[in-house]
């Protein structure tokens, strides 16, 4: 769970009596429906980056390192996309 997940789940549960399990069902479903797509993308991106950075055959590592040192792709794809998505979700959820 990320800090963003904590924020969004807090918004969904704000004002509820947390002792009533039945009262939690709808807000938690709302939270899950709003966060599932984003969280799934984050998990898949982590798997992909893990494969690229930690499971690359040793002979290809210098080529991988050279490419990653001189391209904008990683920053524009990963570094700027996530904050944009989170900002959009914050705007949508207030």
52 CB contacts (<8 Å, ≥6 apart)? 64
Range in 6-15, 73-82, 85-94 with the lowest mean pLDDT? 73-82
Return the pLDDT at 78.
Answer: 63
**Which 8-state DSSP code applies to residue 62?**
H
| C-beta contacts of 56-64 below 8 A and 24+ residues apart | none
Cβ–Cβ < 8 Å for 64, 56: yes
- If you average pLDDT over residues 48-59, what whole number do you get? 84
Distance of CA 6 to the CA centre of its chain: 12
Which region, left, alpha or beta, applies to residue 38 given φ > 0 means left and ψ of -120 to 50 means alpha? alpha
* Mean per-residue pLDDT, 7-22: 86
* Mean pLDDT value of segment 73-77: 66
State yes or no: pLDDT of 83 exceeds 80.
no
């Amino acid at each position: 769970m990320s800090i963003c997940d904590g924020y969004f789940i807090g918004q969904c549960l704000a004002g509820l009596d947390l002792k009533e399990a039945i009262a939690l069902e709808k807000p938690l479903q709302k939270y899950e429906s709003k966060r599932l797509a984003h969280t799934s993308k984050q998990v898949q991106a982590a798997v992909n980056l893990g494969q690229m950075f930690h499971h690359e055959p040793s002979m290809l590592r210098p080529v991988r390192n050279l490419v990653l040192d001189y391209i904008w792709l990683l920053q524009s794809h990963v570094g700027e996309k996530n904050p944009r998505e989170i900002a959009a979700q914050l705007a949508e959820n207030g």
